[in-house]
């Protein structure tokens, strides 16, 4: 699996995570609680989320490295729709394991 993570500083991380999980729960078998969420987009593509008082951490795990940038854009686009009242700034993704 290829892994990429981003940390977004916001006092609303838990709210945004919950909104994202509820949004995607209409199409996927989403699991979440107040601190973490998992969106399994497909058997080889998922987004993990962890929220705390200071922000939201997004971690995308997938097999196809060529599609990583597109997946990052999809997740951030959805996040920014829910966070339209707040400037989240430029989101920096980092590769990891």
Query: Which helix (H) or strand (E) is 11 found in, with range?
Result: none
Residue 32 CA neighbour count, 13 Å, CB half: 27
pLDDT score at 64: 87
Which CATH number fits the domain 2-84, given the four candidates 3.40.50.300, 3.40.50.150, 3.30.310.50, 3.40.1360.10?
3.30.310.50
pLDDT score at 97: 54
- Per-residue pLDDT tens listing for the chain (97 residues): 899 999 999 999 999 999 999 999 999 999 999 999 999 999 999 999 999 999 999 999 999 888 999 999 999 999 999 998 898 888 899 987 5
Question: Distance between CA 17 and CA 54 in Å, rounded?
Answer: 13
Would the pTM count as exceeding 0.85?
yes
pLDDT score at 60: 97
């Amino acid at each position: 699996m290829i892994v990429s993570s981003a940390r977004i500083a916001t006092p609303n991380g838990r709210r945004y995570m919950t909104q994202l999980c509820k949004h995607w729960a209409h199409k996927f078998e989403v699991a979440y609680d107040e601190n973490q969420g998992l969106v399994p987009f497909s058997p080889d593509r998922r987004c993990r989320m962890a929220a705390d008082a200071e922000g939201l951490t997004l971690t995308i795990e997938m097999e196809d490295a060529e599609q990583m940038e597109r997946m990052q854009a999809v997740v951030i686009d959805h996040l920014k729709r829910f966070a339209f009242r707040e400037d989240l700034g430029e989101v920096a993704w980092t590769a990891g394991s």
